């Protein structure tokens, strides 16, 4: 099967500073890729490449075989750690936003039957993430976990090819985090999603992922710390056995 | 207990707030009574009764020369100029402020110009406005608009540019075009801030209105105050100042109410 995403010798450089170097890998449809690594190792840059917030300095990033333009588009959905939802819209309006943008170019608002259809679809999606009872609540009235549920529903309603999660549970309490793991794991299976999740939590990465990518610098020049960039130093597909064994010692230590 | 920890209850807070006002009025009444006793024709500190009489005359009696009730003619003329000036400034802010905040290209092109215009003292431009637009209504309206628009534009542009970048990225991943995200993400979040900066700008707007009216006008609240100043008519000036304050408070209250009703999410998020 052709990969959904592939990186061909990708470099990201800011002037003298090399952030990513020689990243070559591909991601198949249906994978749940966890991206881990120390701070400053290019995890977020890697995600921003896929998101289209920036383009590679060298190499190519392909989505379904086509090079990505350095611009965000609806085939890649995203959930950030914070500020993912619009504070001035209710939960329902937040989810309907994507449908309204597609349906009405000039006003980004739907009316009549198409509005009703979008409303029903959005309500259904909110039901699926467990927010069926708070359709008319503003984000400020929702807890942190519920806001992240909303952000996920908002992204999924566009049926993105790839769902990107940027430390989505980083700001949540441990208990809520477990609930969210269950939700994301369930949605991933149910909708056959392809997910890429950046996380600080190694255990979370192994628990949810079918594949773990660890970014770090392979080479290090103590006199010029920016001379070399990070790359995927660890790339493992997790079968059941590897999952049960948990994260290897060298990653936990890092 | 430390002073910083003493918090008056709601009922007593109103009382505490009223005390200085009442005190001020009493002190004024005593002083004016003393002056009037010494000189029945004193004009500098008129009694409340004298002010009420003058106000009554201005608010009810028809001026035989113009056929209008003076105070109402002044009020409508001033409020109309104020509304036009503030309206133009608000419209300009809405268009320019959001464009500057959302589109980096517009910010690069027009940001420096707006910054330069913002540092020009508006009153210094008044002669230019008089020369260019004449002594009529246009120059007064223009002074108000020119006076408050740069501050409002910069404030709104800063606010919009400061909205979390995540929101703009998210909107794009949901398929929003530049226009759509301006309309549905930037604009609604800019409106409560626009009302806030409008409330702050009403003070300067009044200053510019009264300045323009004082210099060249034949009707208006500022015109009247500066006209009767020649006769030391404090019995007219003081009620007019009180009337202007009342109008200002009322405007502020209306703006705040509109903001609370229309944007509940911006005021603590509750319905």
In DSSP notation, A42-105 reads SHHHHHHHHHTSS--SEEEEEETTEEPPSS--TTEEEE-SS--S-TTS-HHHHHHHHHHHHH-T
Instruction: Name residues whose C-beta falls within 8 Å of residue B247's C-beta, 6 or more positions apart in sequence.
Output: B75, B79
Q: Delimit the domains of chain A by residue range.
A: 5-253
List of chain A residues whose C-beta atoms are within 8 Å of the C-beta of residue B174: 74, 77, 97-98, 101, 154-155, 158
**Which residues of B have a CB under 8 Å from any CB of A?**
164, 166-167, 169-177, 179-180, 183-185, 188-189, 263-266, 268-270
Give the pLDDT confidence score for residue A253 in this predicted structure. 58
Give the pLDDT confidence score for residue A155 in this predicted structure. 92
Average pLDDT value for chain B: 92
Other CB atoms within 10 A of residue B38 CB: 8
Give the pLDDT confidence score for residue A73 in this predicted structure. 87
> What superfamily does domain A5-253 belong to in CATH?
P-loop containing nucleotide triphosphate hydrolases (3.40.50.300)
Give the pLDDT confidence score for residue A1 in this predicted structure. 65
Do B92 and B198 meet the contact criterion of CB atoms below 8 Å apart? Answer: no
Give the pLDDT confidence score for residue B113 in this predicted structure. 93
Alpha carbon distance, N-terminus to C-terminus of chain A: 34
Helices B234-262 and B187-215 cross at an angle (nearest 10°) of 170
Q: Delimit the domains of chain B by residue range.
A: 3-48, 75-264
Other CB atoms within 10 A of residue A92 CB: 21
**How far is B38 from B124, CA to CA, in rounded Å?**
44
Q: What is the CA radius of gyration of chain A?
A: 19
What interface predicted TM-score (ipTM) does this complex get?
Answer: 0.88
Q: Which of A249, A248, A212, A252 is CA-nearest to residue A232?
A: A212
**How far is A228 from A78, CA to CA, in rounded Å?**
29
Do A238 and A215 meet the contact criterion of CB atoms below 8 Å apart? Answer: no
Tracing tokens 């609370």 back to the chain, one arrives at B260
Q: How far is B270 from chain A (nearest CA, A)?
A: 7
Q: How far is B260 from chain A (nearest CA, A)?
A: 13
User: What would the two tokens of residue A210 be?
Assistant: 């079918």
CATH 3.40.50.300 corresponds to the domain B75-264: no
- Mind listing the pLDDT tens digit for each residue in B71-80? 999 999 999 9
**How far is B95 from B103, CA to CA, in rounded Å?**
12
- Mind listing the pLDDT tens digit for each residue in B194-220? 999 999 999 999 999 999 999 888 999
Tell me the mean pLDDT in the region B44-56. Answer: 91
User: What would the two tokens of residue A186 be?
Assistant: 């369930």
List of chain A residues whose C-beta atoms are within 8 Å of the C-beta of residue B264: 138
**How far is A129 from A151, CA to CA, in rounded Å?**
10
- Among B174, B188, B269, select the one facing A154 at the smallest CB separation: B174
Q: Which of B247, B192, B214 is CA-nearest to residue B143?
A: B214
pLDDT above 70 for B141: yes
Judge whether A124 is closer than 8 Å to chain B, CB to CB.
Answer: no
- Mind listing the pLDDT tens digit for each residue in A187-244? 898 888 899 999 988 888 888 889 998 888 888 788 887 778 888 777 888 877 677 7
Q: How far is A239 from chain B (nearest CA, A)?
A: 32
Give the pLDDT confidence score for residue A248 in this predicted structure. 74
The verdict on a CB contact (< 8 Å) between B269 and A84 is: no
User: What would the two tokens of residue A184 be?
Assistant: 């994301």
Q: Which residues of chain A have pLDDT under 50?
A: none
């Amino acid at each position: 099967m052709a990969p959904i995403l592939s990186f061909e010798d990708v470099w990201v450089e800011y002037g003298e500073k090399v952030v990513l170097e020689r990243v070559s890998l591909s991601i198949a449809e249906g994978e749940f890729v966890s991206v881990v690594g120390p701070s400053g190792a290019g995890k977020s840059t890697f995600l921003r490449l896929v998101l289209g917030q920036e383009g590679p300095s060298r190499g190519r990033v392909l989505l379904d075989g086509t090079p990505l333009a350095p611009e965000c588009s609806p085939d890649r959905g995203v959930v950030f750690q914070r500020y993912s939802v619009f504070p001035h819209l209710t939960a329902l309006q937040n989810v309907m936003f994507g449908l309204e943008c597609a349906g009405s170019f000039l006003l980004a608002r739907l009316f009549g039957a198409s509005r009703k259809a979008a409303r029903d679809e959005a309500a259904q999606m909110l039901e699926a993430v467990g927010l069926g009872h708070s359709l008319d609540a503003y984000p400020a009235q929702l807890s942190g976990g519920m806001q992240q549920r909303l952000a996920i529903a908002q992204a999924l309603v566009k049926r993105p090819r790839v769902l990107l999660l940027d430390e989505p549970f980083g700001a949540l309490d441990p208990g809520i985090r477990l609930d969210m793991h269950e939700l994301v794991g369930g949605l991933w299976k149910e909708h056959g999603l392809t997910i890429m999740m950046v996380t600080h939590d190694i255990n979370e990465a192994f628990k949810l992922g079918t594949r773990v990518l660890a970014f770090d610098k392979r080479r290090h020049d103590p006199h010029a710390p920016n001379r070399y960039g990070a790359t995927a130093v660890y790339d493992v597909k997790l079968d059941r056995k590897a999952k049960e064994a948990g994260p290897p010692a060298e990653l936990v230590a890092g | 207990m430390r002073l910083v920890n003493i918090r008056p209850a709601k009922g007593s807070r109103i009382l505490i707030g009223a005390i200085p006002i009442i005190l001020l009025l009493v002190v004024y009444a005593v002083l004016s009574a003393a002056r009037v006793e010494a000189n029945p024709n004193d004009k500098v500190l008129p009694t409340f009764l004298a002010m009420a009489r003058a106000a009554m005359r201005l608010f009810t009696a028809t001026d035989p020369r113009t056929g209008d009730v003076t105070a109402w003619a002044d009020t409508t003329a001033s409020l109309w100029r104020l509304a036009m000036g503030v309206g133009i400034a608000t419209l300009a802010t809405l268009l320019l402020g959001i464009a500057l905040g959302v589109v980096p290209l517009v910010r690069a092109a027009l940001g420096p110009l707006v910054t330069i215009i913002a540092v020009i003292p508006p009153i210094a431009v008044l002669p230019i406005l008089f020369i260019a637009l004449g002594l009529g209504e246009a120059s007064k309206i223009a002074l108000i608009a020119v006076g408050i628009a740069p501050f409002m534009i910069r404030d709104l542009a800063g606010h919009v540019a400061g909205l979390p970048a995540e929101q703009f990225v998210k909107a794009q991943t949901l398929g929003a075009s530049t226009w759509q995200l301006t309309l549905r993400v930037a604009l609604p979040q800019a409106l409560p801030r626009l009302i806030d900066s409008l409330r702050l700008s009403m003070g300067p707007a009044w200053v510019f209105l009264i300045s323009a009216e004082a210099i060249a006008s034949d009707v208006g609240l500022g015109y009247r105050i500066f006209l009767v100043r020649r006769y030391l008519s404090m019995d007219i000036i003081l009620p007019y100042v009180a009337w202007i304050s009342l109008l200002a408070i009322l405007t502020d209250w209306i703006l705040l109410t509109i903001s609370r009703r229309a944007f509940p999410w911006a005021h603590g998020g509750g319905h």
